[in-house]
Amino acid sequence: MSQAKFRVGRLDHVHIRVPDREVAARWYADYLGFEVVEAFGFWAKGFEGGPIQMSADGGNTMLALFEASEGHPMAPQVTGVAFSVDAQSFAAFARSLPNGIDSPSDQPLRIDDVVDLDMCWAYNFTDPWGNNFELNCYEYERIRNDLIVAEGVEPVRYWPRSLYEQYRG
């Protein structure tokens, strides 16, 4: 048995593709007891195509409902599982790259593949069989200072920071 160089944290959320986020959110609420996690409202309302985050356990584990119909901005979004780790683990993972883990584009995952999601940082990667994963860290300022600035990393952005700042008002 090999010794892993890194250990993921807790399950954070699962990406779910649905044709209509609002209809799906009502179904998950009515039949499975999920509630919208308002702390992540920016992702649902701040830009076109973001997910509605829902949870049945107060936000510890969530579903991310992505609207994925033809021509929709998030149509390329695929199902996948996201894990959450603390800042120390996230930075150690980032600094270990490339380490044999590939990005969704089948290229070695690199430190600059980090995604700035305004409320958290993320790496998207695949296992050798093509399953999609995401590694998140919600200690936003700590990662920004201790990794992004310290290492001169140019993160990936899916939308302009100004949208988040506008949303937060």
Residues 141-158 have pLDDT tens digits of 999 999 999 999 999 999
CA dist., res. 165 & res. 148, Å (int)? 19
CATH 3.10.180.10-classified regions of the chain = 9-79
Residue 131 pLDDT class (50, 70, 90 cuts):
confident
Do the Cβ atoms of 12 and 84 come closer than 8 Å? yes
pLDDT at 2 over 80: no
Asked: is 9-79 a CATH 2.60.40.10 domain? The reply is no
Higher pLDDT, 3 or 85: 85
pLDDT score of 75? 44
Average pLDDT of the chain, as a whole number: 89
- pTM score of the predicted model: 0.81
Q: What are phi and psi of 130, to 5 degrees?
A: 90, 5
Residue 72 pLDDT class (50, 70, 90 cuts):
low
Which residue stretches of the chain are H helix?
A: 21-32, 41-45, 87-95, 140-143, 150-151, 161-168
pLDDT score of 84? 94
Which residue stretches of 33-149 are H helix?
A: 41-45, 87-95, 140-143
Higher pLDDT, 101 or 80: 101
pLDDT at 29 over 70: yes
- CA dihedral in degrees (100, 80, 159, 141; nearest 10)? -70
